């Protein structure tokens, strides 16, 4: 898909459709997990960030650093970093119900993270050159209709020497059947890697409660590793770390992970990328 011609539709067309779908499915996610998460974060040292991600965070010396989390969902990753000593933390997400949950959890757990409901492409200029690190987590990039415009926004809100931290689903998994596709054999290539149009779907978004609830039409964009890297490089960042992993982080490819291990042919299913800005 060409960034200059996103299927003849505007970025806003896609993001508002996705916003509606997320607001529709969020009650199912909250029914399955909200009470448990609220209880867990009453512990001021609670964190959902584990290895290998935590190992990479330590290398960034993030304590005291100001962090923006784009597509933060219900805020638990950012709240975890705050619990571990991060500085000023702000999460941004387009889903009204996810931000309401994050704000409530932060308030009731005395966690000082702030959460803002906004399309990430519309983040206010008041946040420009504010953050030391921009954090992008699992499943965020697939909702972005324009990867170049997205990383332009990342650059805008970062300080000149700030860093990008990405922990994401590897696009190789997009070629494989999901756990819900029981008729397909694990590791069978079902879709192209070079995908030029977004997927349109109404089912399968409740990866938390595992229900069959549907949403209105939403759009998922498959960005190749080269798309992501070049969008970052084109904004003047230097990629300092790129590590690929054989474990699934999407909660939709456990069958593929197990099958690959059994066959002794582990494939890339997730990755961490760290990039740094330059003052020049």
Domain ranges in the chain are 11-276
Q: Which of 123, 90, 127, 93 is nearest to 106 (CA)?
A: 90
Instruction: Please report how the helices 76-83 and 96-108 are oriented relative to each other, as an axis angle in degrees rounded to 10.
Output: 30
Mean of pLDDT values over 126-146: 97
d(CA 66, CA 63) in angstroms, rounded, equals 9
Predicted local distance difference test score (pLDDT) of residue 49: 98
pLDDT (mean) for 254-278: 95
- pLDDT value at residue 279: 59
Please count the residues of the chain: 280
Please give the pLDDT value at position 5: 47
Instruction: Match 């990342």 to its residue by tokens.
Output: 154
**What pLDDT score was predicted for residue 267?**
96
DSSP state of 185: P
Residue among 28, 33, 35, 34 nearest 212 (CA): 28
Average pLDDT over residues 229-245: 98
**How far is 92 from 69, CA to CA, in rounded Å?**
6
Average pLDDT for 255-280: 92
User: Each residue of 163-190: pLDDT tens digit?
Assistant: 999 999 999 999 999 998 888 999 999 9
Sorted by sequence, the CB contacts under 8 Å of residue 244 that are 6+ apart come out as 170, 268, 270, 271
State residue 255 phi and psi, 5-degree precision.
-65, -40
Q: What are the strands of the beta sheet with 270-276, ordered from one edge?
A: 114-117, 89-93, 67-70, 131-136, 158-169, 270-276, 238-245
The pLDDT value recorded for residue 102 is: 98
Report pLDDT for 209.
87
- Residue 204 is predicted with a pLDDT of 82
What's the token pair of residue 63?
């304590």
In this prediction, residues 138-152 reach a mean pLDDT of 97
Q: What is the pLDDT of residue 3?
A: 44
pTM of the model: 0.95
The whole-number average pLDDT for the span 11-40 is: 96
pLDDT of 6 strictly over 80: no
113-117, 205-209, 269-273: range with lowest mean pLDDT: 205-209
Please compute the mean of the pLDDT values over residues 246-272 and round it to a whole number.
Answer: 95
Q: Does residue 133 contact residue 67 with C-beta atoms inside 8 Å?
A: yes
Superfamily of domain 11-276 in CATH is: Vaccinia Virus protein VP39 (3.40.50.150)
Write the DSSP symbol of residue 160. Answer: E
Q: Look at 55 and 203; give whichever has higher pLDDT.
A: 55
């Amino acid at each position: 898909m060409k960034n200059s011609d996103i299927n003849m539709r505007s970025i806003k067309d896609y993001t508002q459709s996705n916003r509606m779908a997320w607001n529709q499915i969020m009650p199912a996610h909250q029914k399955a997990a909200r009470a448990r998460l609220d209880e867990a974060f009453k512990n001021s040292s609670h964190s959902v960030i584990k290895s290998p991600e935590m190992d990479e965070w330590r290398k960034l010396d993030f304590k005291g650093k100001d962090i923006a989390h784009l597509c933060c969902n219900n805020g638990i990753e950012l709240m975890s970093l705050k619990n571990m000593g991060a500085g000023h933390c702000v999460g941004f997400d387009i889903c009204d119900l996810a931000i309401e949950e994050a704000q409530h959890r932060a308030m009731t757990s005395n966690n000082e993270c702030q959460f803002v409901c906004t399309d990430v492409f519309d983040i206010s200029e008041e946040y420009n050159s504010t953050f030391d690190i921009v954090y992008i987590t699992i499943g965020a990039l697939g909702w972005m209709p324009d990867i170049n415009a997205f990383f332009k926004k990342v650059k805008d809100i970062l300080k000149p020497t700030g860093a990008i931290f990405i922990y994401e689903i590897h696009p190789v998994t997009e070629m494989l059947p999901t756990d819900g596709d029981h008729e397909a054999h694990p590791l069978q290539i079902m879709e192209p890697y070079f995908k030029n149009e977004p997927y349109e779907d109404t089912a399968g978004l409740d990866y938390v409660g595992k229900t069959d609830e549907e949403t209105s039409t939403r759009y998922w964009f498959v960005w190749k590793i080269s798309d992501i890297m070049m969008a970052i490089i084109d904004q003047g960042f230097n990629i300092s770390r790129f590590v690929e992993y054989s474990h699934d982080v999407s909660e939709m490819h456990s069958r593929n992970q197990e099958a690959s291990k059994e066959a002794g042919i582990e494939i890339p299913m997730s990755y961490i990328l760290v990039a740094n800005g330059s003052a020049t």
